[in-house]
Amino acid sequence: MTVKVAVAGATGYAGGELLRLLLAHPEVEIGALTAASSAGTPLGQAQPHLAPLAGRIVEETSADTLAGHDVVFLALPHGHSAAIADQLGPDVLVVDMGADHRLADSADWQRWYGGDHAGTWPYGLPELPGARERLRATTRVAVPGCFPTGGSLALAPALSAGLVEPDVTIVSVTGTSGAGKSLKPHLLGSEVMGNASAYGIAGAHRHTPEFVQNLSGAAGRTVTVSFTPVLAPMPRGILTTASAPLTGDTETGEAAVRAAYEKAYADEPFVQLLPEGQWPTTAATVGSNTVQLQVAVDADAGRLVVVAAIDNLTKGTAGGAVQSMNLALGLDETAGLPTAGVAP
Amino acid sequence: MTVKVAVAGATGYAGGELLRLLLAHPEVEIGALTAASSAGTPLGQAQPHLAPLAGRIVEETSADTLAGHDVVFLALPHGHSAAIADQLGPDVLVVDMGADHRLADSADWQRWYGGDHAGTWPYGLPELPGARERLRATTRVAVPGCFPTGGSLALAPALSAGLVEPDVTIVSVTGTSGAGKSLKPHLLGSEVMGNASAYGIAGAHRHTPEFVQNLSGAAGRTVTVSFTPVLAPMPRGILTTASAPLTGDTETGEAAVRAAYEKAYADEPFVQLLPEGQWPTTAATVGSNTVQLQVAVDADAGRLVVVAAIDNLTKGTAGGAVQSMNLALGLDETAGLPTAGVAP
Amino acid sequence: MTVKVAVAGATGYAGGELLRLLLAHPEVEIGALTAASSAGTPLGQAQPHLAPLAGRIVEETSADTLAGHDVVFLALPHGHSAAIADQLGPDVLVVDMGADHRLADSADWQRWYGGDHAGTWPYGLPELPGARERLRATTRVAVPGCFPTGGSLALAPALSAGLVEPDVTIVSVTGTSGAGKSLKPHLLGSEVMGNASAYGIAGAHRHTPEFVQNLSGAAGRTVTVSFTPVLAPMPRGILTTASAPLTGDTETGEAAVRAAYEKAYADEPFVQLLPEGQWPTTAATVGSNTVQLQVAVDADAGRLVVVAAIDNLTKGTAGGAVQSMNLALGLDETAGLPTAGVAP
Amino acid sequence: MTVKVAVAGATGYAGGELLRLLLAHPEVEIGALTAASSAGTPLGQAQPHLAPLAGRIVEETSADTLAGHDVVFLALPHGHSAAIADQLGPDVLVVDMGADHRLADSADWQRWYGGDHAGTWPYGLPELPGARERLRATTRVAVPGCFPTGGSLALAPALSAGLVEPDVTIVSVTGTSGAGKSLKPHLLGSEVMGNASAYGIAGAHRHTPEFVQNLSGAAGRTVTVSFTPVLAPMPRGILTTASAPLTGDTETGEAAVRAAYEKAYADEPFVQLLPEGQWPTTAATVGSNTVQLQVAVDADAGRLVVVAAIDNLTKGTAGGAVQSMNLALGLDETAGLPTAGVAP
């Protein structure tokens, strides 16, 4: 089986990572590559690392250029996906790598993003309870935000098992590629290198409602989330430190916690619960679709602490998108997705 | 007034930063420079950036080489300061940049460091309530750990004012120099660059009891602290994200919080509460003794979030040590201490 | 066809990159993984990014553990390959990723490395004239040094075509992984980040005679080489700037130069001569086996300038090794070798 | 003596570094701070590291705002200095940190920069023969380009002494701040980190004619210069590797070379010829006005190799500007200029 795939937003970081993965996917033929301002130029200008596609000419993003493909990935600014998706027909698999179809609640959408709510599509994080089944039966996928990918997997098993209170604190250290190629002064290399800075503080980041949605779903009740992203001097990677008050006896807690995580992720090809004593590093996940996890109990503070490492562009965006495509098309879920990282 | 200063541990990162500051201090004459394995070599080998001292020969650390100075700084591995300090006489100002004299509780010392407890000296963080007075009347100073420096200043005003519950979460992103020049595989450049990793998870880091001591002192009751350090790819800097549940009405909380911090730090020369909307960055503090602070209220999560940025080697170690020396000697507290950072 | 492969030196950077590539190679089964001090531990400790091999136990490097494989890769310190190779039998393909079998001249070996010269094996840089044929008919391969890989391909076409004088200057900016996991102070992250430094200056680097050998072979006469490596703050990548005096009319030189390079590399799957106006970047080659090249004529200085970018661990070591294995086994030369990089 | 200083271009990297130095200068009072687009905002927004000046309001750059100062520094885009300088009066010391007044030859100016040539001012590199005297007798200073600062000092003594042929090769690895705060895609952190790239290849960089001018002056005849800049992932620093064919007997060359450099720089407060066996690192010069130099002879290649490290913003721009100001005003040449770097 060969599926023909178009990528809208092929010149950005998410689009570039997606194309890198698709080049190695055994059942994919890469079709139209589209973008906005760089239409008409060879892809090699915007994506010099994609040597096999260097001579491909970027086209304009439109229903016409995207027509005639089995799968269309949309790596567009938020608010742009619904209009395109409506023109692609119900049989085409549309994978939205933007935010438009992630939130179930219209009020949430309007508060955090503004404008009309485009609706909700099956959520592309198969490791969450129930998600895999929905993805196997859809032609529309909403790819999660990069922060909620690692952070939700870090806490869902403990919340599902009732091991922690529904009141969580999440601090995620992220590389710069999550911000895309935006020409903003604080993203210049001179500003970023040798520097750590917090932003979107005190619940101001748009991924907060997505955390609440995912974790409340896992807990079966509303979860309060305090989320802070920290920008660190690295191109890729998110290291999430998540914690929550333990509900039970902390002296026996660590075994129960580890058992819950082992059970939750025993059959997951992309979640690696590390051996005791080994801690996640983002470097180990660069370019791979793996989530590295470790859990620990702080008996003094009475809290569970979970650390998760992912590559924001791979499992956090493009790898998660391919994983969902595989499920929706009935392919091997792991096809084309490396689990070994590029390190050092 | 000129004071003659000796530095034990002159070849490490803390010693190097101390010497950089002392070179620019208007009232200091740099005397003996001592170390262990590199005794007998020119300082320029271990500290190539200290051009004015390149030809100075490093001596062995001993009571003899350290004798005859007005001030002795000890930048030694933990457990080594007490024996040396005992031989230096009560009139010499001894500034211990290690951990030996930070903790008041012997049981804490034994649990976290092991071995005999050397006792407690006045704590070199003048911005904490009561600390400045004790530093003005001492010939012995215990310099704080780098993480508790920023993290304690981030939360002390809110705890003192009763604005938050005594149950705090602290995640600190740190550069690599805090680990010193130890030849450990995970500190190699190849491992560190492009990488974020957590360590000392779930209350396992030795700075945890120091946080508890400082914050409990500020709160007037025992504070529970969940502390996680994260190693980031930068040589210097600590960015601390600290949060705690608000006690009061969160709708009016932000103004009350800001007022408490403005009051607490109004006259502090080294604490910069940033204007609303501007967030701390470690880059802005490189090489300076400044602490950048920002506060915010997360009304959804019901938490106060405070972000603090410092240079771990300057305010977090050597700058704090000079500031305490200035106080103990009756000099201008700010002498020799830059408040402008080296950026970008 | 499936070949069974052993890797001696599996815990180092070169061994780790080799395993990453072999995991994705369609015709390889990974057999014994051996090392020295870490024998007996799971590979996941030394190579946390190789999730699929995390539980594999590292064995001791010996003729016994390496026996029974079709291919043995030796990623060992120099001077250790010959003794092992002698015990592996003539039918086993032995790929030496160290220096032992690179130099043809015994006097060169003794001057630059010392000790007995182990002899010369076919040189694993198929893009050099005549090399590919020798690799197709051998069971022994000497993988090139990382610097000579990019630098030789940068200058060989111009020297072969007589476009430049045999007197070349090469400055190569390298990431830190080329130095391996050695616990040396100058390789610590704190020392490396924010820092550029030269080393092995003025012809002192051991790759100099390898440059002379390769370039003299291309030129058909002795080439004088001034080589300087510069250490830059990045884990991977080598950017080589090579120049030499033009022999001919510089006004028409650029066209002739470009024609020579286009001809030399027209059919090379791993050499990408960039379009005019685009310059090589190491980031574009991370994790890929591609060499990015650009050529230009400096009419004022009368010199040809060539810039080459590679990943030192991929094309510069492990990728080159796999490429040579493919040739020696009669496989598709490109099997298992990505040409798209991991960027940003 | 206190001099009142204005800075035009106070919001850029050069202006920021200048202000950091001026804050610590014992004889300077900081007056007007001007800029273009950020006029009207507090300086703390553009320069968050300059805590002591955070509340100062940036003014528009004009003859009015710059009037009434003893010294005016111009950190403006090229082509903008002459018009302003003309309005400042002959008694005001004007220090041009841009390119406008560096080149003596109008044809050079027109070829490399375009537009009318503003003329030549005394060149602010006191360590070049004759330069210090001219700077002591001027009210107009042209601050050198960052690359020619280190590169000229690297080669001038050898060329002056006739030890090398007038045909030199220079490769300079630079941090990103040399490019300023320009919002260009290739300067984004995501692009810069983990990446080395060459640009302005084959004599295309505008600093080439400045090299030729300086080195020809030192040699007493026309010097041919092949210059290549390489962008490395660090905010600050330039490491220059310069080489040239030796004219004499290379067996005795190293002693003669070292003697020439020792003699040339014996009394220079900011040039540090390192002990044999120690190599320059840019990290050692961060924030300091020091040039680290090392020389070596490559007997095989018959070339002198010199490596120079500077901080591009300090000695390479703002520190050099202050040094020239000190000379022009008759102050101690070293006032306000640190020679110890900020490392690690």
Which residue positions in chain C have pLDDT lower than 50?
Answer: none
Spatial neighbors of A265 by CB under 8 A, at least 6 apart, are: A127, A157, A271, A273, A293
**Helix D208-219 and helix D146-160, axial crossing angle in degrees, nearest 10:** 20
CATH number, domain with residue D249: 3.30.360.10
Let me know if residue D169 belongs to a domain.
Answer: yes
- Stated as kind and residue range, the H or E segment containing C255 is helix C253-265
Closest alpha carbon within chain C to B13? C190
User: A276 and A201: one domain?
Assistant: yes
Q: Is some CB atom of chain D closer than 8 A to the CB atom of B13?
A: yes
3-state secondary structure of C68: coil
| CATH number, position B70 | 3.40.50.720
Give the chain A residue nearest C192 (alpha carbons). Answer: A194
Query: Could you tell me if residue B44 is inside a domain?
Result: yes
- Whether residue B21 contacts residue D313, with contact meaning beta carbons closer than 8 Å, is answered with no
pLDDT band, very low/low/confident/very high, at A249 (cuts 50, 70, 90): low
D338 token code pair: 């640190």
Would you call C302 and D224 a contact, using CB atoms and an 8 Å cutoff?
yes
B268-287: per-residue pLDDT in tens? 999 999 999 999 999 999 99
User: Which chain C positions have a beta carbon within 8 Å of A340's beta carbon?
Assistant: 19-20, 23-24, 49-53
pLDDT of residue B201: 77
Confidence of residue D249 (pLDDT cuts 50, 70, 90): low
Which one of A203, A233, A280 has the shortest CB-CB distance to B234? A233
Backbone angles phi, psi at C81, to 5 degrees: -80, -40
Q: What is the pLDDT of residues D318-342, one digit of tens each?
A: 999 999 999 999 999 999 999 999 9
Q: Contact C46/C26 with Cβ under 8 angstroms?
A: no
The whole-number average pLDDT for the span A89-104 is: 96
Domain identity same for B129 and B204: no
Residue B73 and residue B104 in one domain: yes
Question: Over chain A, what is the mean pLDDT?
Answer: 96
Whether D198 and D245 map to the same domain: the answer is yes
D210/D1: higher pLDDT: D210
The residue-averaged pLDDT of A132-139 equals 97
pLDDT greater than 90 at residue A201:
no
Same domain, A296 and A171: yes
CA distance A294 to chain D (A): 27
Domain count within chain B? 2
Q: Give residue-wise pLDDT tens across range D147-166.
A: 999 999 999 999 999 999 99
- B301: domain range? 147-310
Q: What integer best gives the mean pLDDT of chain B? A: 96
Are residues D112 and D26 part of one domain? yes
Which residues in chain A have their CB less than 8 angstroms from residue C344's CB?
Answer: 13, 176-177, 235-236
Chain C CB contacts of B181 under 8 Å are: 185, 188, 190
Nearest 5°: CA angle at A296, between A295 and A302? 130
| Phi, psi for residue A143 in degrees, rounded to 5 | -75, 135
Residue D339 falls inside a structural domain: no
Q: B163 with B57, same domain? A: no
Is A84 domain-assigned? yes
Q: Could you read off the pLDDT of B180-216 as tens digits, one per residue?
A: 999 999 999 999 999 999 988 777 889 999 999 999 9
Report the SS3 class of residue C247: coil
A18-66 tens-digit pLDDT: 999 999 999 999 999 999 999 999 999 999 999 999 999 999 999 999 9
Q: Is residue C338 a part of any domain in this protein?
A: no
pLDDT at D252: 62
Same domain flag for C181 and C295: yes
- Beta strand residue intervals within chain B, DSSP E: 3-8, 28-35, 59-60, 71-74, 93-96, 140-142, 167-174, 197-198, 224-231, 238-245, 271-273, 291-298, 303-310
Give domain status of residue B335, yes or no. Answer: no
Q: Residue B197's beta-bridge partner residues?
A: A281, B231
Q: B236 CA to chain C: closest CA distance, Å?
A: 8
C-beta atoms of D188 and A188 within 8 A: yes
Tokens 């990382």 found at = C146
Mean pLDDT of D16-32: 98
Side-chain-facing half-sphere of A86: CA atoms under 13 Å? 6
* Cβ atoms A81, A100 nearer than 8 A: yes
Using a CB-CB cut-off of 8 Å, the residues of chain A touching B237 are: 194-196
Mean pLDDT lowest among A84-88, B10-14, D20-24 = A84-88
Q: Do A180 and A297 fall within a single domain? A: yes
The SS3 assignment for D231 reads: strand
Collect all residues of chain B within an 8 Å Cβ-Cβ radius of residue D53.
Answer: 340
Report the 10 Å Cβ neighbour count for D221.
11
D285-310 tens-digit pLDDT:
999 999 999 999 999 999 999 999 99
Task: Find the range with the poorest average confidence among C172-181, D80-89, D211-220.
Answer: D80-89
Residue A193 falls within a domain, yes or no?
Answer: yes
Is residue B249 very low, low, confident or very high in pLDDT (cuts 50, 70, 90)?
low
Separation in Å, CA A76 to CA A98, A110, C22: 6, 19, 35
In this prediction, does ipTM exceed 0.90? yes
Best mutation target among C193, C286, C311 (most B Cβ atoms within 10 Å) is C193
Tell me whether B194 touches chain A (CB under 8 Å): yes
Assigned domain for C239 exists? yes
| A188 plus A283 within the same structural domain | yes
Does B259 touch chain D if contact means CB atoms closer than 8 Å? no
Please say if C146 is a catalytic residue. yes
Residues B38 and B117 both lie in one domain: yes
Output the CA torsion B267→B272→B273→B277 (10° steps). Answer: 150
Residue A231's SS3 state is strand
In D, residues 114-173, which contact C (CB 8 Å cutoff)?
167, 169, 171, 173
Please indicate, yes or no, whether residues A115 and A161 belong to a single structural domain of this protein.
Answer: no
